[in-house]
A and B are shown apart, each in its own frame.
Chain A
Amino acid sequence: MIRGRAWIFGDDVDTDVIIPGKYLRTKDIGLLAEHVMEGLDPTFASRVSPGDVIVAGRNFGCGSSREQAPVALKAAGVSCVVARSFARIFFRNAINVGLPLLEADVPCQAGDVVEVDLEAGRVSCSGQEYSGTRLPPFLMEILQDGGLVAHRCKERSISDHGESAGVKRP
């Protein structure tokens, strides 16, 4: 269960406002976190607290394929993004970097405490429950492993271990 304070954003939040192009030359995720959401709210990065949840409208993460967008949100402490819908590249990238997300229409206010149950695909806020679109099991597994890199490493170590124990791969 994810529990955090809500930040509210509207429709079509693009990856250029999540992390502007001028910061993409860095590999320093701390620097990305310092500038996250700068295009929409220059105070966001200094006010966001670990565990906070973003609640947004349609087409969250549209635009550029930059994976630095979900990386920056995660590095800033955002624990989950709940949106009415996601742009498809951001959706894949968020799962691949281990940033939880759920497609759901949640009409809450800034600062409300929201609870997100990813397994069940449900969000609760101010005593109301909202259902969203549950992630398919193979995507949940990637998220639970902390992203695609960790997931693939786990698969590799299982298969290496299997072979050394005398189990032959087909």
Chain B
Amino acid sequence: MTGQTLSEKIFSRASGKLVHAGEFVMARIDRAMIHDITGPLAVKGFYQIAGENARVWDPSRIVVLFDHQVPADSLKAAENHQMLRAFAKEQKILNHDINCGICHQVMPEMGHVLPGNLIIGTDSHTCAYGALGAFATGVGSTDMASAFATGKLWFMVPQTLRLMIEGILPCRVTSKDVVLRIIGDVGADGATYMACEFRGSTVSRMSVAERMTMTNMAIEMGGKAGLVEPDRTTMTYLKDFAVEEPFTGDEDAPSQVRHYQVDDLEPQIAMPHSVDNVRPISQVPKTRIDQVFLGSCTNGRFEDLQLAAEVMGGEPVARGVRMIVIPASRKEYMKALRSGLVEQFMEAGALVEAPCCGPCMGGSFGLIGAGEVSLSTSNRNFVGRQGSPKGFVYLCSPAVAGASALTGEITDPREI
């Protein structure tokens, strides 16, 4: 009898039978999340499916929050917020409203994500929660509507791609550089439908924040989920919450394996206009930048802000460059505030905004115009992603963002 991967074990628990990759299952959902962009369609679909007086299957398992267009940036956004507020109130669902930050930071930090959980969210970067050993995946609004009614959803149990990462990361080279390197190698669809497990000694030494950066970007290679097996670091992160003894995958479980050695890894840049268009920074031509965005669910945590600030060393942002810093959540913002980072960024000439998605998806503020270049610690650089379809988005680590903010061009943080 061959073993099971962590994903197979989670689907076995959630479907009540022993399952393996390739099987279709109807699985019970442990937690479901909607936000202000995709939530309204889910709510509308729920009432269409279940009837206008229907109740959701279990309000204690649903979380509502607003992060994409906050505070409401238009009347339409305000109407969407009102509709979701009313839904949450009527159904007695927890609503974090605009107060807490980006869904993918808020869900783990509030204890809504536990190892072994099966979680769905109406956002493709829901895969980030796998950093805590949950199976979490993005779904569309109608799938969510159906789950609201029944508490269940069909899935194909995915194959697993084990990404074995070994070695000690050089100074100012980060988990973002690791995941960009992997995406460049695997390709934008190389892991389609697969569960991407990040393993190896490098991952074992990483903090939960560093792990989240990688699991967050599993979708950028087509992955259905990104996972890190729960360990002592996971349990320390979750110390304030009631957590059952977590389980891990079996070593002999069938999976594809790729190996990465990171001792000599350079900072990596994803060039326009696809996330798998990755180059080591030494091979990136001299590139002038107009805007630096330090934030997002990928790299908006305290550790990310701290690293960028350390690279900047109290020096000012280059003339002609706009730097926008957005901590991923209220908690991360407060940490940055208390430690003096907010002051340091503001003194340097950056703008520090309240927790939200900001420029990342180009639907609210901080947009770039035609011909402008954005250097961003977020997760996507598609055409038009941060504003004009004639703009250019380069993706990087917080260290590269900090270094480049000082010089006004894409800069290796090891040279600062």
Residues of A within 8 A of B (CB): 11-12, 14, 16-17, 20-22, 24-27, 38-40, 58-59, 62-68, 85, 87-89, 92-93, 96-97, 136, 138, 147-149, 152-153, 156
Contacts and interface: CB of A to CB of B under 8 A. Distances in A.
Interface string B67-97: 0110000101100100000000000000000
B138 A65 contact: yes
Contacts of A92: 139-140, 143
17 contacts: A14-B380, A17-B384, A20-B384, A24-B37, A27-B40, A38-B389, A59-B189, A85-B192, A88-B192, A88-B222, A89-B124, A89-B138, A92-B143, A93-B143, A148-B45, A152-B50, A156-B49
A131 to B, nearest CB: 20
B237 interface: no
Contacts of A152: 49-50, 146, 149
Contact of B385 (A21, A25, A65, A85): A21
B282 interface: no
Interface in B374-416: 380, 382-385, 389
A67 to B, nearest CB: 4
B362 interface: yes
Contacts of B140: 65-67, 89, 92-93, 96-97
A16 B382 contact: yes
A66 B192 contact: no
A24 B369 CA distance: 19
B123 interface: yes
Given A38-B389, A64-B361, A85-B189, A17 B383 contact: yes
A67 B141 contact: yes
A152 B126 CA distance: 25
A59 B362 CA distance: 22
A93 B142 contact: yes
The 4 nearest A-B residue pairs measured at CB = A21-B363, A59-B189, A93-B140, A96-B142
Contacts of A96: 140, 142-143
B64 interface: no
B21 interface: no
Interface of B: 24, 37-38, 40-41, 44-45, 48-51, 68-69, 74, 76-77, 80, 122-124, 126, 138-143, 145-146, 149, 154, 188-189, 192-193, 219, 222, 224, 274, 361-363, 380, 382-385, 389
A148 B274 CA distance: 31
A147 B141 CA distance: 12
Nearest to B138: A65
Contacts, number: 130
Nearest to B389: A39
Given A59-B192, A66-B37, A148-B146, A21 B222 contact: no
Nearest to B76: A25
Contacts of B361: 16, 21, 64
B45 A149 contact: yes
Contacts of A40: 383
Contacts of B382: 14, 16-17, 39, 63
A39 B391 CA distance: 11
A62 B189 contact: yes
B38 to A, nearest CB: 6
B111 to A, nearest CB: 24
A139 to B, nearest CB: 9
Contacts of B126: 65
A27 B75 CA distance: 13
Contacts of B274: 12
Contacts of B24: 136
Contacts of A22: 362-363
B76 A26 contact: yes
B208 to A, nearest CB: 23
A92 B51 CA distance: 23
Contacts of B37: 21, 24-25, 66
